[in-house]
A and B are shown apart, each in its own frame.
Chain A
Amino acid sequence: GESVGLHLPTLSVQEGDNSIINCAYSNSASDYFIWYKQESGKGPQFIIDIRSNMDKRQGQRVTVLLNKTVKHLSLQIAATQPGDSAVYFCAENRDSGAGSYQLTFGKGTKLSVIP
């Protein structure tokens, strides 16, 4: 089964409000976690990542929080804009056991911004 998953499949947010997208993971051996944004017809686009030894990291308008106790990851988007509408995936980087590291993706949350 999936080791990385999302709590909510869809999220609708008013333009200007803050968005919070959640993710649960089960593999405590992952060394870091990444959030990707995927717009329709495009490939995943890197947003922000966080190492497993951190609990918070901030970027431009985005913040990622990591709670290792409950194996929970969240992405916060401040002042959500129409251009933020997309599907958001969390992914974990972990040893595949086959000589390399792999990214394992969750199923994604579709964020819709209401103008």
Chain B
Amino acid sequence: NAGVMQNPRHLVRRRGQEARLRCSPMKGHSHVYWYRQLPEEGLKFMVYLQKENIIDESGMPKERFSAEFPKEGPSILRIQQVVRGDSAAYFCASSPRPRGQGLAGGYTFGSGTRLTVV
């Protein structure tokens, strides 16, 4: 079981370029969550997706950010026209069931993608 796989581990983009971050959930997990972590900060929820559906995007910035989880392939977090403030670590987590009451410890995180905007 390879766990939650994120790639690339490190990504450097110039201001104005696009960043694409990929996340392959654990085998058997169909629920994916993206979080952002600024230096010396905790993780901030961005979006929750199931296959082909965005369930909760209440933490996503309204502009430049989008996420998808297609029927086949990994989940993608896309950031258009990146700015220096987008520099952060982006973590993906997956779970076998919807995140809700009583789900304890069923949330597995990947190792993250460190995005640096220069």
Task: Please choose the segment from B14-22, B63-71, B74-82, B94-102 that sits at the chain A interface, where 4 or more of its residues have CB less than 8 A away.
Answer: B94-102
| Bound Cα distance A101, B40 (Å) | 25
Question: Could you tell me if A99 and B55 are in contact, using CB atoms closer than 8 angstroms?
Answer: yes
**Contact check: which of B57, B59, B110 meets A43 at CB < 8 Å?**
B110
List which A84-102 residues lie within 8 A (CB) of chain B: 89, 91, 93, 96-102
Are A102 and B42 neighbours in the complex by a CB distance under 8 Å?
no
CB-CB under 8 A from A51, the residues of chain B are 102, 104
Which residues of chain B in 84-115 are interfacial with respect to chain A, using CB atoms and an 8 Å cutoff? 91, 93, 98-105, 107-112
Q: Closest approach, in angstroms, between the C-beta of B40 and any C-beta of chain A?
A: 7
Pair B45/A43 contact, Cβ less than 8 Å = no
Contact present for A105 and B48 (CB under 8 Å): no
Binding site of B, secondary structure by majority: helix, strand, loop or mixed?
loop
Known: A43-B91, A96-B56. A102 touches B112 (CB 8 A): no
Chain B residues, Cβ within 8 Å of A105? 35, 42-44
Encoded as 1 (CB less than 8 Å from any A CB) or 0, chain B from 24 to 60 comes to 0000000000010000111111001000000111110
Q: With the chains together, A102 CA to B101 CA distance in Å? A: 10
A42 at the interface (CB under 8 A from B): yes
Interface size class of B (residues with CB under 8 A): 20 to 34
Inside 8 A of B108's CB, which chain A residues have their CB? 46
- With the chains together, A99 CA to B100 CA distance in Å? 10
Q: How far is the CB of A52 from chain B (nearest CB, A)?
A: 10
Question: A residues 39-88 with Cβ under 8 Å of B?
Answer: 41-46, 49, 51
Cross-interface CB contact of B109 among A44, A97, A100, A104, cutoff 8 Å: A44
Known contacts A105-B42, A105-B43, A106-B42; decide if A46 and B99 are in contact (CB<8 Å).
no
Query: Would B43 and A102 count as touching, CB distance under 8 A?
Result: no
- Tell me the minimal C-beta distance from B2 to chain A in angstroms: 14
* CB 8 Å contact bits of A2-19 with B (1 = contact, 0 = none): 101000000000000000
Write out the residue numbers on chain A whose beta carbons fall within 8 Å of the beta carbon of B111: 41-43
Q: What is the interface of chain B, defined by CB distance below 8 A to chain A? A: 4, 35, 40-45, 48, 55-59, 91, 93, 98-105, 107-112
